[in-house]
Amino acid sequence: MTMNPPHVQHQKGFTLIELMVVVVIVSVVTSISILSLGGGDQRKLTAQTNQLKSLLMLVRDQSTFDRKLYLVVPDESGLTTHVFHQNKWQESPKVALLEWKPGMVVEWSVDETFAEKQQLPEAGWMFWPTGEVLEGAVSFAMGGDKFTAPKKENIVKVSWNELLQFEVEIGSALDDTL
């Protein structure tokens, strides 16, 4: 007597449960990756803001320590520091160039009239040996380009007074003039 094995059905696809498990796993992985990457602009803005504040404080301290005039000049690539040495302005060997982070849109305000009156090589912010600073402001933005404006939360404005006391405005605290 031969026994025939019970009829075995071969599955030709996935069950609904298996497909739902895969969808849930992919959703969780996607959510985690979006959350971890989402704050990149904010991190860059915070880092650039901290670098700016640190550089300005360093130049103020260096000016006081050396008992010399210093000048910080903004341009499209970053901030260059100059020192008045032997009756002429020259790039400072003690303070490195601060480069803007890639993708950062930067605007600044400098007193052009002051630069002309003082016969500065370029407009920028002056630092005196007394610890005083020419007030100014720099705005950073991420996520925009020449055709689209960045989101408000991706804009930071750093301003300072003659004592180098900082005020940082972020996103919605800014007015619409940027």
Query: In which band, very low, low, confident or very high, does the pLDDT at 37 lie, cut at 50, 70 and 90?
Result: low
DSSP-assigned letter for residue 171: G
Q: What is the pLDDT of residue 177?
A: 46
DSSP-assigned letter for residue 177: T
Q: What is the pLDDT of residue 46?
A: 87
Mean pLDDT, residues 31-47? 71
Q: What is the pLDDT of residue 114?
A: 92
Q: What is the pLDDT of residue 6?
A: 64
Q: What is the pLDDT of residue 146?
A: 47
Identity of the amino acid at 47: A
Burial of residue 18 (CB within 10 Å: 0-12, 13-18, 19+) is exposed
Burial of residue 28 (CB within 10 Å: 0-12, 13-18, 19+) is exposed
Res 178 pLDDT > 50: no
> Mean pLDDT in the chain?
83
**Which single residue is written with the structure tokens 């040495």?**
85
Q: Sketch out the chain's domains with CATH numbers.
A: 40-173 (3.55.40.10)
DSSP-assigned letter for residue 51: H
pLDDT digits (tens, 9 = 90+) for 72-130: 999 999 999 999 999 999 999 989 999 998 888 899 999 999 999 999 999 999 999 99
Q: Which residues contact 157 (CB under 8 A, 6 or more apart)?
A: 137, 138, 139, 140, 168, 169, 174, 178
Res 145 pLDDT > 70: no
